[in-house]
């Protein structure tokens, strides 16, 4: 369970995330949608404890990511926007290193390694050098790294970016299969991805949450695309509407 509470992040004068709140329940997959530059990556970096928020907080299974940072971070598996690989290391050595950092007990490292290599389709790649892998395989190693300690919370920043259609299909299947009783948050700007695998959708635009809704409860017959476009334009429309209203009021005053 991830509870994001009134998160605000400012870089100097630029406010990237404004008062963002949402909740991701255990056993569900939350799709985090938004146009480029909407603040998705910033929000995910705050959720995982990489950077602090200017205001607000995040609870990971009830643990505060700022005040109980180590315990909270232990629960998270995180795939950043760019898979965090050491280009000189071999896949197996790299995953072993992450397993140790993530406190996987020594006796379980071998089985954990074998497991993630298998689910991510990397068994044949174990002895390859990370820097020489294709984009798709780098993405898979990134995913394997996020899964190796079997975390209850998974945060995936654009997990299917740069993959070919078959790989996208596989990774989506994998994420769906993984969810189980985990909490999964994945960001994307591919809409069908959300409708295929997510239970809940949160749309942000210009750093603000404009929609938080269960997919089941979305009005039947409307496509996610319409909802998305509607939600992100409503943001702009809102300002427009107030301007129109003011105009109308002014007009009304005159007549």
Residue span binding other proteins (CB under 8 A) among the ranges 75-83, 116-124, 188-196, 211-219: 75-83
Minimal distance in Å, beta carbon 84 to other proteins? Answer: 4
Minimal distance in Å, beta carbon 83 to other proteins? Answer: 8
Give the C-alpha separation, 103 to 135, whole Å: 28
Residue (of 21, 49, 3, 46) closest to 183 by Cα position = 3
Between 103 and 124, whose beta carbon lies closer to other proteins? Answer: 103
User: Judged by CB under 8 A, does residue 78 bind other proteins?
Assistant: yes
Write the interaction track for other proteins spanning residues 6-45; mark x where CB under 8 A is met and - where it is not. Answer: ---------------------------------------x
**CB atoms closer than 10 angstroms to residue 160:** 21
Residue choice 6, 51, 118, 222 for contact with other proteins (CB under 8 A)? 51
User: Judged by CB under 8 A, does residue 110 bind other proteins?
Assistant: no
Minimal distance in Å, beta carbon 34 to other proteins? Answer: 20
Instruction: Indicate the pairing of strand 183-188 with strand 28-33.
Output: parallel
Residue choice 2, 4, 16, 76 for contact with other proteins (CB under 8 A)? 76
Q: Are 63 and 1 in contact (CB under 8 A)?
A: no
Instruction: Indicate the pairing of strand 63-64 with strand 76-79.
Output: unpaired
The interface with other proteins within residues 137-156 (CB under 8 A) comprises 145
User: Judged by CB under 8 A, does residue 49 bind other proteins?
Assistant: yes
Between 153 and 201, whose beta carbon lies closer to other proteins? Answer: 153
User: Judged by CB under 8 A, does residue 176 bind other proteins?
Assistant: no
Residue span binding other proteins (CB under 8 A) among the ranges 31-39, 82-90, 202-210, 233-241: 82-90
Residue (of 60, 33, 61) closest to 46 by Cα position = 60
User: Judged by CB under 8 A, does residue 62 bind other proteins?
Assistant: no
User: Judged by CB under 8 A, does residue 88 bind other proteins?
Assistant: yes
User: Judged by CB under 8 A, does residue 161 bind other proteins?
Assistant: no
Residue choice 27, 101, 123, 226 for contact with other proteins (CB under 8 A)? 101
Interacting residues toward other proteins by CB under 8 A: 45, 48-52, 70-71, 73-74, 76, 78, 80-89, 93, 97-98, 100-103, 145
């Amino acid at each position: 369970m991830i509870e994001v509470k009134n998160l605000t992040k400012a870089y100097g004068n630029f406010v990237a995330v404004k008062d963002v709140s949402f909740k991701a329940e255990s056993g569900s997959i939350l799709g985090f949608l938004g146009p480029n530059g909407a603040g998705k990556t910033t929000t995910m970096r705050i959720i995982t404890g990489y950077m602090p928020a200017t205001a607000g907080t995040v609870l990971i299974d009830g643990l505060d990511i700022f005040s109980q940072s180590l315990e909270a971070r232990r629960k998270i598996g995180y795939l950043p926007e760019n898979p965090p690989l050491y280009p000189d290391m071999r896949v197996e050595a790299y995953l072993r290193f992450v397993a140790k950092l993530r406190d996987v007990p020594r006796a379980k490292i071998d089985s954990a390694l074998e497991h993630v290599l298998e689910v991510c389709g990397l068994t044949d790649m174990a002895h390859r050098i990370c820097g020489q892998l294709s984009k798709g395989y780098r993405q898979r190693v990134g995913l394997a790294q996020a899964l190796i300690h079997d975390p209850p919370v998974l945060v995936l920043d654009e997990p299917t970016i740069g993959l070919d259609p078959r790989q996208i299909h596989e990774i989506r299947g994998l994420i769906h299969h993984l969810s189980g009783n985990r909490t999964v948050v994945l960001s994307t700007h591919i809409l069908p991805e959300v409708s295929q695998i997510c239970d809940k959708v949160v749309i942000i635009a210009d750093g603000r949450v404009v929609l938080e809704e269960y997919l089941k409860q979305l009005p039947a017959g409307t496509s996610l695309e319409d909802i998305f476009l509607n939600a992100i334009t409503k943001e702009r429309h809102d300002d427009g509407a107030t301007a129109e209203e003011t105009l109308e009021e002014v007009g009304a005053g005159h007549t």
